[in-house]
Amino acid sequence: MKLTGAEILLECLKREGVKTIFALPGGVVLKIFDILHQQKDIDVVLTRHEQGAGHMAEGYAKATGKAGVCLVTSGPGMTNVITALADAYMDSVPLVCFSGQVPTSLIGNDAFQEADNVGLSRPCTKYNFLVKNVAELATTIKEAFYIATTGRPGPVLVDIPKDVSMDKAEFTYPSSVSIRSYNPVYEGNKWQIKQAAEAMTKAKKPILYVGGGVVFSGASQELLELAELTHMPVDMTLMGLGAFPGEHPQSLGMLGMHGTYWANMAMHYSDLVIAIGARFDDRVTGKVSEFCPHAKVIHIDIDPTSIRKNVNVDIPIVGDCKTVLRELLQILRATVNGDQRELRKSWWNQIHEWQQANPLTYQQESDGPIKPQYVISRLYELTKDRDPIVSTDVGQHQMWAAQYFKLAKANRWLTSGGLGTMGFGFPAAMGAQAAFPGRLVLCIAGDGSIQMNMQEMATAVVHKLPVKIIILNNRFHGMVRQWQDLFYEGRYASSYLETTPDFVKLAEAYGAVGLRASKPTEIDAVLKEAIAVNKPVIVDVPTYPYENVYPMIPAGGCNHEMILEDPPALKSKQIGAGQVAPKDSDTILTA
């Protein structure tokens, strides 16, 4: 039987097991929406902006491990979703984005709402297609899902001209694909794996440096066994949080620019770095020439270009984290004979010393201003038994969340790591909530970043996505202010937001629930109330505006040279009037 392009698209989505898509219509995709309107298998979440659709698909993908799907129209629909595609590309998120295109006869004519979708998305997608003939549509979609989800995952764009969605073709869905020029390697080189195992059993001061690759590969179980078998400490990147249980005694937490003191010290003084699914980002390495000066480096990654891109590697292993770790474990189970604990005793003593010397701290006075770290600590304590999914935006609150919210499992942490996209958190949380309607989904946000995709509150209300947003409201672009304090002599150029909206009223205006905690003593009660509501909630928490994130490695600095607290000049300045002194009444004023 012959089907239209739009019907073929629907059939393909069903066969790929897609349950939810995030979409916003427009002229050239109306045929597709018309078909989606007449069926019940796939939920269509109508977003208020295409960027929201893209981030929701990302949140869906990060929480489920499956490809997220979004559908946008041509021209501005496409340009709006670009940020989400670029974000997904940096963070290796499997995404399939369908974009509408003007009819093939008009392509290149500067038609209404025409944009070169394939050209625009080329540098920020793993691959993209322009479908010129409806007969190629089914195969193209199959290839798109295959490319997005295999190898190092990433976003794939399928651009569908209006006439292709309306033309008819015989529908057959290929059961498998093979692309002669695309053959990701899953099995690691056996010889290299043997070398790695040998190095690991001998090392006195090894460290596992774990990234998002472990999450996407589903290798948490293997990682746990490896760490326990060899008694090695585990550092996680921002993207790797949750890959290893945060409360595990061998977890050193996050490393890098705002990582823990001991995680960074352990990296710097280790004799063997085992990087698994991590890419030696500049926020982790700091000054490359002085990165891990005493260590041999083993690097396991599915993407060959990640290996030796930023740092030299002694034992490179190209392969899937899970597959390679299994191979490694097979060797290590036979060779490790329980003496690892003894071998690494002095290393662990050293790490414990570092932990005691400079723990993560903050001062919360019961009648003083609310400290953001306190809010996150309380949120963690109050929700950890419910295995929540946590999303963040980008900035200070993101780093505090990474430090204080200790995730137990993978696929619980939705954050924008590579691109650092403010406005990511809320729609990503909604995507995860759409995938898991019964779960507790928290979005930790700042007052700056939440306003970048606030419009999606309407989507959350309509589609009954009861995400709990906790806004750490310091009336600043806090991370910008921190850098200005440390490196620009406290000149707050465009970082002070002056007036933020009354988020409680804003939530209510959308038909959601708005709550506020104004004193430290109110935090617990308000958070509990928010968690109990089965509706989208905004919890507005006015926080101390001058709190800074520490430890901090200045950009391009060495890993063992961390700033651990406000420099004296800054401390005295904060007590004084400051350059722009936000009044305590600011939030109240707008309330």
Element (DSSP H or E) covering residue 165: helix 162-166
Contact in structure between 443 and 522 (CB atoms under 8 Å): no
Q: Which C-beta is closer to other proteins: that of 118 or that of 166?
A: 118
d(Cα 249, Cα 288) in Å, to the nearest integer? 29
- Measured from the Cβ of residue 220, the count of other Cβ atoms closer than 10 Å reads 21
Could you write out the DSSP letters of every residue in 520-533? GGGHHHHHHHHHH-
Residue 127 found at the interface with other proteins (CB under 8 A): yes
| Residue 147 binds to other proteins (criterion: CB under 8 A) | yes
Based on the shown chain and the rule CB under 8 A, indicate whether residue 108 belongs to the binding site for other proteins: no
CA distance 321 to 223: 9
CB of residue 251 to other proteins, shortest distance in Å: 32
* Residue 457 annotated as catalytic: no
Which CB atom, from 179 or from 509, has the smaller least distance to other proteins? 179
Question: Contact region for other proteins (CB under 8 A) — 68-76, 120-128, 222-230, 231-239?
Answer: 120-128
Strand 206-210 and strand 272-276: the pairing is: parallel
Minimum distance from residue 394 beta carbon to other proteins (Å): 23
Quick one: DSSP state of residue 306? G
Q: Write down the H helix ranges in 344-389.
A: 345-357, 372-383
Cβ-based burial of 556 (10 A; exposed 0-12, middle 13-18, buried ≥19): exposed
Among 122, 333, 352, 491, binds other proteins (CB under 8 A): 122
Annotated catalytic residue within 16, 22, 33, 50: 50
User: Quick one: angle between helices 478-487 and 568-575, nearest 10?
Assistant: 120
Q: Does 308 bind other proteins (CB under 8 A)?
A: yes
Nearer to other proteins, 179 or 588 (CB): 179
Catalytic residue among 2, 39, 112, 579: 112
Q: How many residues does the chain have?
A: 591
Q: How far is the CB of 304 from other proteins (least distance, A)?
A: 5
Task: Kindly tell me which residue out of 76, 123, 511, 567 binds other proteins, with binding defined by CB under 8 A.
Answer: 123
- Give the footprint of other proteins on residues 383-442 (CB under 8 A): none
DSSP states of 391-408: EE-SSHHHHHHHHH----
Identify which range of 61-69, 175-183, 213-221, 561-569 contacts other proteins by CB under 8 A. Answer: 175-183
Residue indicated by tokens 């976003």: 155
Would you count residue 368 as binding other proteins (CB under 8 A)? no
The one catalytic residue in 31, 62, 142, 162 is 162
Q: How far apart are CA 520 and CA 378, in angstroms?
A: 10
Active site residue 436: no
- Residue from 21, 24, 56, 130 touching other proteins (CB under 8 A): that is 130
| Largest interatomic CA distance in the chain | 77
363 is a catalytic site residue? no
The residues in 282-301 that bind other proteins, with binding defined as CB under 8 A, are: none
Q: Nearest 10 degrees: CA dihedral of 84, 89, 91, 97? A: 50
Report the relative pairing of strands 127-130 and 155-161 from DSSP bridges.
Answer: parallel
Report the C-alpha gap between 554 and 283 in whole angstroms.
Answer: 9
From the CB of 305, what's the least distance to other proteins, in Å? 4
In this complex, which beta carbon is closest to other proteins, that of residue 151 or of residue 520?
151
Nearer to other proteins, 178 or 585 (CB): 178
Residue owning tokens 């890959």: 243
Euclidean distance between the first and final Cα of the chain, in Å? 61
Residue 38 CA to residue 419 CA, distance in Å, equals 37
Q: Closest approach of Cβ 71 to other proteins, in Å?
A: 22
Distance CA 493, CA 486 (A): 13
State in angstroms the smallest separation of the CB of 72 from other proteins: 20
Answer yes or no: 479 catalytic: yes
> Smallest distance from the beta carbon of 190 to other proteins, in angstroms?
21
Catalytic residue (choose from 265, 452, 479, 562)? 479
Dihedral (C-alpha) 234, 237, 242, 244: value to the nearest 10 degrees? -10
Instruction: Using the minimum distance from each CB to other proteins, give the nearer residue, 277 or 466.
Output: 277
Nearer Cβ to other proteins (3/307) = 307
Query: In the annotation, is 583 catalytic?
Result: no
Burial letters 514-545, b for 16+ CB under 10 A, else e: bbbbbebeebeebbeebbeeebbbbbbbbbbb
Do the Cβ atoms of 460 and 431 come closer than 8 Å?
no
Choose which of 126, 205, 283, 371 interacts with other proteins (CB under 8 A). Answer: 126
CB of 124 to other proteins, least distance (A): 10
* Interacting span for other proteins (CB under 8 A) from 40-48, 63-71, 168-176, 304-312: 304-312
CA 425 to chain centre: 9
242 contacts 410 by C-beta, under 8 angstroms: yes
Stretch binding other proteins (CB under 8 A), from 118-126, 266-274, 453-461, 487-495: 118-126
Using the rule CB under 8 A, which residue among 65, 174, 218, 304 binds other proteins?
Answer: 304
Question: Binding residue for other proteins (CB under 8 A) from 11, 198, 290, 303?
Answer: 303
Binding mask 182-221 for other proteins (x = CB under 8 A): x---------------------------------------
Q: For other proteins, which residue of 175, 178, 181, 356 counts as binding (CB under 8 A)?
A: 181
Q: Which of 11, 19, 66, 113 is catalytic?
A: 113
Q: List residues binding other proteins (CB under 8 A).
A: 118-119, 122-123, 126-127, 130, 147, 179-182, 303-305, 307-309
Catalytic residues: 50, 112-113, 162, 479
